[in-house]
């Protein structure tokens, strides 16, 4: 007797808050919807969804009275929005609240790669500092040229931070934007060619698949560092691995991977890569804000009020 499904790997705090607000049926993934009785499925009007498992037309059709899929996260590429549109379903996400955290991680990964901070840490902890003298020199990060691929909310937060590191800011976006003197490139290859650091902040989904292509990676060149905080799908990952292995780019800082969490083991062999487990928005403060915004969207829907952050 619930109108709400809560689907995904919710943590304790979110689970408790969902329970209090909606007394939902909890499922691990959209694949479990088919396990519910038809009568219960017919009661459901809203789904609070979290995670990267596919939520497609087939799952939607199992919920004949569904009206809303409220995504936990800004990226909703796991949800087939075209299928939702075709069925008159609304989709919401949680933009804004996670921009700072994701941008922080992007900036730190860039400096970590350039300044070899993970290697230097391991080297100091191994005792090599005392035994063999100073750590090898690495490269200056401030003052370089940053290329932001995708100047949405997160891309802009990254650019604002990098500007404070005295960087010249270049960006790709579908159209030129109003910026404080940053340089627009209509083409990601041209962007990569001028950039010392390429930071990918695209939305996910079919439209941006392998947007950072082999050609873009080649244009970035042997001094180039690539940072990806968007989705693994936006980068041609085999091409990236080839370039990293061959030294055709200098390094990478990656929070997202194509088959995460089962990431390509070729990454493990690379010293010039900082690997993060898709934790861009993974802070207590931000996840609390994301959960609240998701629940606010579900509550608005149930109450017949306007959705707060609709995506369709």
Site for its own copies in 121-150 (CB under 8 A): 121, 123-125, 129-130, 133-143
Out of 35, 175, 268, 304, the residue judged to bind its own copies by CB under 8 A: 268
The answer to whether residue 278 is catalytic is yes
b/e map of 96-118 (b: 16 or more CB within 10 Å)?
ebbbbbbbbbbbebbbbbbebee
In the complex, least distance from residue 156 CB atom to its own copies, rounded to whole angstroms: 12
SS3 2: coil
How many other CB atoms are there within 10 angstroms of residue 88's CB atom?
Answer: 8
Annotated active-site residue in 231, 237, 287, 295: 231
The answer to whether residue 260 is catalytic is yes
Between 87 and 115, name the residue whose CB sits nearer to its own copies. 115
Using DSSP bridges, classify how beta strands 46-50 and 25-27 pair: parallel, antiparallel or unpaired. unpaired
DSSP conformation class of 125:
H
* Residue 281: HSE in the Cβ half-sphere, 13 Å Cα cutoff: 20
Per DSSP, the residues of 168-221 read EEEEE-SS----SSPEEESSHHHHHHH-SEEEE----SGGGTT-B-HHHHHHH-
> What is d(CA 251, CA 138) in angstroms, rounded to the nearest whole number?
12
Out of 1, 38, 284, 306, the residue judged to bind its own copies by CB under 8 A: 284
Site for its own copies in 246-265 (CB under 8 A): 260-263
Size of the site for its own copies (CB under 8 A): 56
Annotated active-site residue in 118, 260, 266, 302: 260
**Interaction of residue 180 with its own copies, rule CB under 8 A:** no
Q: Name the token pair of 125.
A: 């902890």
Site for its own copies in 66-125 (CB under 8 A): 100-101, 103-105, 107-109, 111-112, 115, 117-118, 120-121, 123-125
> What is d(CA 123, CA 135) in angstroms, rounded to the nearest whole number?
8
Out of 2, 183, 283, 312, the residue judged to bind its own copies by CB under 8 A: 283
How many other CB atoms are there within 10 angstroms of residue 209's CB atom?
Answer: 15
Out of 64, 85, 166, 223, the residue judged to bind its own copies by CB under 8 A: 166
Annotated active-site residue in 139, 161, 266, 278: 278
**Interaction of residue 168 with its own copies, rule CB under 8 A:** no
> What is d(CA 241, CA 37) in angstroms, rounded to the nearest whole number?
46
Between 206 and 268, name the residue whose CB sits nearer to its own copies. 268
Between 166 and 305, name the residue whose CB sits nearer to its own copies. 166
CA 43 to chain centre: 33
The tokens 């809203």 sit on which residue? 46
**Interaction of residue 18 with its own copies, rule CB under 8 A:** no
The answer to whether residue 223 is catalytic is no
Q: Which residues bind its own copies (CB under 8 A)?
A: 9, 11, 100-101, 103-105, 107-109, 111-112, 115, 117-118, 120-121, 123-125, 129-130, 133-143, 160-161, 163-166, 260-263, 268, 274-279, 282-287
**Catalytic positions, written as ranges:** 231, 260, 278
């Amino acid at each position: 007797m619930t109108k709400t499904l809560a689907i995904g790997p919710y943590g304790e705090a979110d689970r408790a808050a969902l329970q209090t607000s909606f007394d939902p049926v909890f499922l691990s993934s959209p694949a479990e919807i088919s396990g519910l009785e038809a009568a219960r499925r017919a009661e459901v009007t809203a789904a609070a969804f979290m995670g990267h498992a596919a939520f497609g037309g087939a799952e939607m059709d199992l919920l004949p009275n569904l009206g809303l899929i409220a995504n936990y996260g800004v990226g909703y590429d796991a949800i087939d929005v075209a299928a939702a549109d075709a069925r008159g379903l609304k989709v919401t996400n949680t933009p804004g609240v996670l921009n700072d955290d994701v941008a922080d991680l992007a900036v730190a990964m860039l400096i970590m790669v350039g300044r070899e901070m993970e290697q230097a840490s391991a080297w100091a902890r191994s005792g090599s500092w005392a035994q063999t003298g100073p750590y090898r020199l690495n490269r200056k990060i401030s003052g370089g040229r940053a290329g932001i691929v995708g100047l949405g909310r997160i891309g802009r937060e990254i650019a604002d931070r990098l500007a404070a590191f005295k960087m010249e800011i270049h960006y790709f976006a579908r159209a030129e934007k109003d910026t404080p003197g940053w340089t627009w490139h209509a083409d990601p290859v041209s962007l990569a060619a001028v950039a010392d650091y390429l930071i990918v902040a695209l939305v996910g989904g079919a439209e941006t698949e392998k947007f950072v292509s082999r050609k873009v990676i080649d244009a970035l060149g042997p001094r180039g560092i690539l940072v990806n905080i968007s989705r693994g799908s936006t980068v041609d990952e085999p091409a990236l691995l080839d370039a990293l292995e061959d030294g055709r780019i200098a390094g990478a800082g990656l929070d997202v991977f194509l088959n995460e969490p089962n990431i390509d083991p070729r990454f493990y062999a690379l010293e010039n890569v900082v690997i993060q487990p898709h934790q861009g928005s993974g802070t207590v403060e931000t996840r609390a804000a994301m959960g609240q915004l998701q629940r606010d969207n579900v509550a608005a829907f149930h109450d017949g009020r306007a959705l707060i952050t609709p995506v369709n």
